Amino acid sequence: MDKLVTRFLNYVKYETTSDESSTSIPSTSNQLEFAKLLGKELEKIGLTDVSVDDNGYVMATLPSNIDKDVPTIGFIAHMDTSPDMSGKDVKPNILSNYDGEDIVLNKDKNIVMKVKDFPDLKEYVGKDLIVTDGTTLLGADNKAGIAEIITAVEYLIDNPHIPHGTVKIGFTPDEEIGRGADCFDVEKFNADFAYTVDGGPLGELEYENFNAATAKIYIQGRNVHPGTAKNKMINSILVANELNDLLPVNERPEYTEAYEGFYHLIAFNGSVEKTEIAYIIRDHFMESFETKKGTLEKAVEFLNHKYGNIITLEITDSYYNMKEKIEPVMYIIDVAKKAMEDLDIKPLIKPIRGGTDGARLSYMGLPCPNLFTGGHNYHGKFEYIPIFAMEKSVETILKIIELVQTL
């Protein structure tokens, strides 16, 4: 498994942060350069049908080496890192034989990962961890997934006596900004089902996610000199605050968990004359998802009646809960669950409080639940990943490929 760690440490040195403000595909040129590097590596280790298209999508095939027909399985990961924190000049550190105490990530800047803030660290006493230097994210989301997938298929190439069916590999750009499946060619990929390797801690197995929408709201106020403003001024900032106050306080992210949905105010830019705000709306259940959108529409309707049609609302659905598409093929969950159990890994089956490429791919005809990478605290400077969990991810991929032959 030495190659696994070497790969990962190499991959995270490449800056591949995605950019939501960009209209290009991929959203940043660095992702396309990284895609080309991965394409060359896949060719070098012996995969066939390797392709890197102009949009940065990487695909490759490990041909079957058995005579019987078995389902074609795919494994998918994304190349971009979150724009929530810098992914430039990542300097990963290996912490050997972790002692269970607070971890000083950066002595000069006094950046410390404290056990009281991240109690999961206690589960990894005696293990080797890969951490950041406290100035960037790590990039385990999702370069750990890429390293794990490539290491697994390389193992099969290096051990041709191990029987396996056809395995498809896919790497996507821009997952972190919700565009990872935009140009994914499901027909070209040609798998019966797939798994994204994009989850968190050891054992995660996910096939439920939020239904998601984005709401953009434009408020046209009326600015008048405050000395003569009575019965004339409409302060769009205050109208925006009034709108926010009409939404349920207990349905904000900071007050929700598990299957509870939310409204999340993500942007607010305003003046007396004009204010623009944006929300993301999330819910696991379609009925309550539609109710949430309806509540926002009614709040806007009420304020438009009060102030005279000064608010414009645009709601755009982003993705839907993959559960609807996975339930008819639950055997792919059973296979992943058995693979973990055979490896003495406790499956952690829970809903994703977010979305993945797999959700959209499932609705595009490629059932695609999500497997763990082993990482923790994604998108920030306290991101870390235990090396043994990465190794277990590779073993899980290999075990799934083995079990698929029994279907």
Half-sphere exposure of 226 (CA within 13 A, CB side): 2
Same fold, 2-208+321-404 and 211-319: no
pLDDT band at 216 (very low <50, low <70, confident <90, very high): very high
CA triple 208-210-215, angle to 5 deg: 165
CB neighbours (10 Å) of residue 123? 13
Residue 407 confidence (pLDDT) = 87
Residue 88 confidence (pLDDT) = 97
Helices (H), 70-219: 140-158, 186-189
Concerning whether 80 is annotated as a catalytic residue, the answer is yes
Tokens 């997938």, residue located: 149
Catalytic residue of the set 15, 41, 80, 206: 80
SS3 for 66?
Answer: coil
Q: Where are the domains of the chain?
A: 2-208+321-404, 211-319
Q: What are 198-212's pLDDT values in tens digits?
A: 999 999 999 999 999
Q: What are 246-258's pLDDT values in tens digits?
A: 999 999 999 999 9
Tell how strand 311-319 and strand 211-220 pair up.
antiparallel
Catalytic residue of the set 154, 175, 204, 208: 175
Q: What are 67-101's pLDDT values in tens digits?
A: 999 999 999 999 999 999 999 999 999 999 999 99
Note the CATH architecture for domain 211-319.
Answer: 2-Layer Sandwich (3.30)
The helix or strand, by DSSP H or E, that contains position 317, with its residue range, turns out to be strand 311-319
Query: How many angstroms separate the CA atoms of 300 and 295, rounded?
Result: 9
How big is the chain, counted in residues?
407
Has residue 1 got a pLDDT over 80?
no
Superfamily of domain 2-208+321-404: Zn peptidases (3.40.630.10)
pTM of the predicted model over 0.85: yes
Contact 307, 235 (CB under 8 A): no
Cα(first)–Cα(last) distance of the chain, in Å? Answer: 29
Concerning whether 133 is annotated as a catalytic residue, the answer is no
In Å, how far are 10, 16, 96, 103 from 92, measured between CA atoms? Answer: 10, 15, 13, 14
In Å, how far are 82, 146, 194, 322, 401 from 362, measured between CA atoms? Answer: 23, 20, 9, 6, 20
